[in-house]
Amino acid sequence: MPVPRYWRYQDQRYNLAGSRCTVCGTVYFPQRPLCPKCHRKSLGKMERVTLSGEGRIISYTVVHDPLSDYEHLSPYIMALIETPEGATLLGQIVDAEPDEVEIGKEVEMVFRKLREEGKSGTIQYGYKFRLKG
């Protein structure tokens, strides 16, 4: 991802910034300008929320054949995580072997390197998850 685009998503990647529709209360991640349920009624009524970083695995997969930028991480675990705020998001599970990961397990957000643009480019950081406890 080019530097400017990555930088624009920094609040989302660093702090799990999402949106709450103040009309119906639904929380979205990533941020949205409009609520898909309330449509135009939510115009100007979406507020920024920071997700707690807590969550539960609802689905996961072990990636054995990643894209070239992520080859050194292989195999790695990607999970779909349901947050107590109601939003679901996709994130990597770190510090765990595939056989330790199970649907229903609790996770918490950690701050990790996401990607490096070679040895001279920028380093991109953001959220990943680890098993709780």
Partner 1 sequence: MDVGIVSYGVYIPKYRILPEEIGRVWGKDGAAMGKGLMVEMKSVPGLDEDTVTISVEAARRALKRRPIDPRDIKAIYVGSESHPYAVKPTATIVAEAIQAAPDLTAADLEFACKAGTAGIQALLGLVKAGYIKYGISIGADTSQGAPGNALEYTAAAGGAAYVIGAEGVIAKVNHTVSFTTDTPDFWRREGMKYPSHGERFTGTPAYFKHITGCAKMLMEKAGTTPKDYDYAVFHQPNGKFPVRVAKMLGFEMSQIEKGLWTPKIGNTYSGSMLVGLAAILDEAEPGDRILAVSFGSGAGSDGFDITVTEEMKRYNRSAAPTVKEITSVYKIIDYALYTKFREKIKMEGE
Q: Decide which of Zn ion, partner 1, none touches 10; Cβ closer than 5 to 8 Å per partner kind.
A: partner 1
| In the complex, least distance from residue 40 CB atom to Zn ion, rounded to whole angstroms | 11
Contact criterion met (CB below 8 Å) for 123 and 6:
no
Contact criterion met (CB below 8 Å) for 114 and 124:
yes
Preceding omega of 2 cis (within 30 degrees of 0): no
Q: Decide which of partner 1, Zn ion, none touches 110; Cβ closer than 5 to 8 Å per partner kind.
A: partner 1
Subset of residues 2 to 31 that bind partner 1, contact rule: CB under 8 A: 10-11, 14-15
DSSP string of 19-52, one letter each residue = EEETTT--EESS--SSBTTTBGGGTT-EEEEE--
Contact criterion met (CB below 8 Å) for 29 and 51:
yes
| In the complex, least distance from residue 50 CB atom to partner 1, rounded to whole angstroms | 7
Subset of residues 16 to 45 that bind Zn ion, contact rule: CB under 5 A: 21, 23-24, 35, 37-38, 42
**For residue 72, what are the CA distances in angstroms to 3, 75, 122, 133?**
22, 8, 18, 27
Subset of residues 68 to 107 that bind partner 1, contact rule: CB under 8 A: 72-73, 94-95
Q: Decide which of partner 1, Zn ion, none touches 37; Cβ closer than 5 to 8 Å per partner kind.
A: Zn ion
Binding site for Zn ion (CB under 5 A): 21, 23-24, 35, 37-38, 42
Binding site for partner 1 (CB under 8 A): 10-11, 14-15, 50, 72-73, 94-95, 110-114, 119, 123, 125, 128
